[in-house]
Amino acid sequence: MGAYFFIYFIKSSDNVIVQTSGGMLMRRVMIYGAGEAGRMVLAEIRRHREDEFQVIGFFDDDPSKKGKLIDGLEVFGGMDKIRELIKRYRINEVIISMPSISKKVIKEIVAHCKAERVSVLIVPSTMEIIRGTVRYDQIKKLDLSDLLEREEINLNKERIMNYIEGKKILVTGAAGSIGSEIVKKLLDFNPAEVIALDINESGLFYLLQDIGFNSLSGTKVIPVIGDIKDRVFLEGIFENYNQDIVFHAAAYKHVPLMEVSPRIAFINNVIGTLNLLEVSLKAGLERFIGISTDKAVYPLSVMGKTKRLTELLIKAFSKKGLMGCSVRFGNVLGSNGSVVNIFNEQIKHGGPVTVTSPEMERFFMTVNEAVNLVMEAGSIAENGDVYVLDMGEPIKIKDLAETLIALSGYIPGVDIKLEYTGIRLGERIKERLFHEESPVEKSEFDGIYVEKNSVVESDFIDKVKMLYDKIYIVNENEIINSMNNLISLYSNIPVKCEVAV
């Protein structure tokens, strides 16, 4: 697995930073990894940064290298010696030069360096090492996703190619953080064309600027501005483009906003999905993949209730012959509105960093993991079940905030304060990934599980339509109660309304 060239700043009061005769501050550096990548990093520093960095030597876990000289510098011990050597040589910075390093090892190195308040950099991907293009100007901040201990899913590219290549594909919510990445990932598998649908004109414009109107593979990307709530509009799209596959990512997702707008949340998330499903079934679509959320499990929030209803709708339509599935996400790092983005902005302005509760925790996944999950699930989408990534243990939001503060070069609670604001409307302390009442099985893909979704079909779709027919007549509490009743009655799973779990 390739890594990225990132930087991890921790303020240092103990380590010496040498001032050169020209007044510049010189940092004392150790390179972790005495292989080819480490030599390239050393050469790059000597060519371009020798007035800023004094390289003291190498760390390496290979005992056969210990004590040897590499380009004039000694190879010291490995992981077991890192903190001792940082103190002895008063190191300010460690550069990891092992491009295929695992996330677990990165996390260990970072923990040692964080304890000693030194910064950590890491080299680019393996391919850049092979090309010999390691450049010091590629340094960027540590990507928090690299501290997740699990390795990312290895895509079964052949299987994905088999169902994507040559097909016409509609992506709704194509300007969003997930939808846009789905569009980009699809281009790797040579579909005939991708119809990128979104109501956000500017977002579509920037997506096209990013990928170009046509990919290198020859795939045509067609931008379409429109609204999934408009059934007639959707019928026209299906008639004009004859899609084979739909990836449905369009939705309102911000929990507190939907708490005060249950009417529009239901219309957009539930009826918009219903419109797409009905048009897809009528058009004889090959498969339908819908994006859901862990907030759909025993949903407390309005947003969670709407997403649980969409899971049930996809199951109901699978019984009518539309092959499809739902893909249930945790919190996606770096997506629009992500807590990571909010915290980084607060840190940028000096804090405080606001956390709702010291006990609040969430499951996290990277954007790449989310999109890979969608691609994999799409290849086996058949009977309306729900696919979920094994995201390991949940992460406390307080710990996440403190890590981000440290990664920005500050001491949590000292330089930048944490402020607890209380749980917001629609939130619970802990989320779940599965319903206890539903069978959960390992899928044929490593790290992906499937919850056997069930819906008492009978008149479920008609009942959803009946709620829509009176949506502007009933008050918002009645809308919420009606959604609860639909979920409990037609899935045989209660809506659990506790806040703290």
Instruction: Give the phi and the psi of residue 202 in degrees, each rounded to 5.
Output: -65, -40
DSSP per position, 247-268:
EE------HHHHHT-HHHHIII
Residues 438, 453, 387, CA angle at the centre, nearest 5°? 100
Cα(15)–Cα(263) distance, integer angstroms: 58
Cα(296)–Cα(431) distance, integer angstroms: 9
The amino acid present at 90, given as its one-letter code, is: R
Report residue 469 as tokens: 């027919």
Catalytic pick among 167, 253, 295, 307: 295
Instruction: Give the phi and the psi of residue 296 in degrees, each rounded to 5.
Output: -80, -10
Residue ranges of E strands in 256-363:
287-293, 324-329, 331-333, 353-355, 361-362
Instruction: Give the phi and the psi of residue 361 in degrees, each rounded to 5.
Output: -140, 155
Cα(112)–Cα(83) distance, integer angstroms: 6
Q: Which of 73, 38, 70, 32 is nearest to 54 (CA)?
A: 73
- Is 295 among the catalytic positions? yes
Distant-in-sequence, close-in-space partners of 390: CB < 8 Å, separation ≥ 6: 150, 447, 448, 449
- Active-site amino acid positions: 295
